[in-house]
Amino acid sequence: MKRIKFNMGWAITLFFAGLASQLSAQNYPFELPKLPYGYNALEPAIDAATMEIHYSKHHAAYVKNLNNAVKGSNVEGHSLEELMLHVSVLPDAIRNNAGGHYNHSMYWAILALDHPFDSTSEVGKAVIRTFNSVDSLKRMLNKAGATRFGSGWAWLYVTTDKKLAVCSSPNQDNPIMDVSPERGIPILAIDVWEHAYYLKYQNKRGDYLAAMLNAINWDVVNKNYTEALASPLLKTIEKHRTGKK
């Protein structure tokens, strides 16, 4: 079997990072999460055909390819988060498919038409404190997605100093990855790959972004926010970012 090679120091770091942080949310073999609604549940923001193809073809392919990429390697059995923390020394097949699986899993979870923004929730108060209003945040997310050249993602994430920030990333990268210039834990993801919107919106990415930013499940985003603040993953990312032991 083909095995991924990496130095012993990195292997020890990966082992203890996984042991100490107890990151076990998504372990090998990785599975396609159940979609929490029907394919037509987000209409008119996004059409059922796009949802079905996106979920059952694109996301499913990332899961299949990720399992194939780690099978028989030295990182087989490690959690999705552990893989993303060290993608700089892993093959592109793991980087792209681990990111594709994680990113899409979050994307499906944070979408809904009937869970509006609540300024009194924990994330609501943080949004007001950081961005002054949810409309200001939406404008920033729209800009991040609209100006991302080519394919990628727009993110609302918790930084390592536990503040909210907006960024975008190319391809299937995200702020957890050690290759990302912006580090932290994502709590809201918007897909700006063309396959996410082209059947309905063609080349009008801005229209798609505006529609999707009004289809956010803020209950889930609030849950993601409170969990991120308490997650040991945040400290692990900070140690990686600063080089601290």
Is the pLDDT at 35 greater than 80, yes or no? yes
Q: Which range has the worst mean pLDDT, 16-25, 95-104, 178-187, 215-224? A: 16-25
Which pair of tokens denotes residue 158?
């918790």
Q: Tell me the whole-structure pTM to 2 decimals.
A: 0.90
Burial of 243 (0-12, 13-18, 19+ CB in 10 A): exposed
Q: For the residues 212-222, what does the mean pLDDT come to?
A: 97
Q: What tens digit of pLDDT does each residue of 41-86 get?
A: 999 999 999 999 999 999 999 999 999 999 999 999 999 999 999 9
Percent of the chain scoring above 70 in pLDDT: 88
pLDDT value of residue 27: 79
Residue 168 and residue 190: Cα distance in Å, rounded?
Answer: 9
Is the pLDDT at 11 greater than 60, yes or no? no
Q: Which of 107, 225, 99 is nearest to 169 (CA)?
A: 99
CATH domain 8-17+47-245 topology: minor pseudopilin epsh fold (3.55.40)
Q: Which range has the worst mean pLDDT, 1-15, 78-92, 134-148, 225-239? A: 1-15
Domain edges within the chain: 8-17+47-245
Q: For the residues 101-117, what does the mean pLDDT come to?
A: 97
Is the pLDDT at 119 greater than 60, yes or no? yes
Residue 84 and residue 57: Cα distance in Å, rounded?
Answer: 22
Band of pLDDT at residue 19, cut at 50, 70 and 90: very low
Is the pLDDT at 14 greater than 80, yes or no? no
pLDDT value of residue 223: 98
- Secondary structure tally for the chain: helices H, strands E: 11, 3
pLDDT value of residue 245: 56
Residue 159 and residue 45: Cα distance in Å, rounded?
Answer: 29
Residue 207 and residue 78: Cα distance in Å, rounded?
Answer: 39
Compute the Cα dihedral for 136, 137, 139, 140 and give only its sign: positive
Percent of the chain scoring above 90 in pLDDT: 86
Is the pLDDT at 10 greater than 80, yes or no? no
132: alpha, beta or left? (left if phi > 0; alpha if psi -120 to 50): left
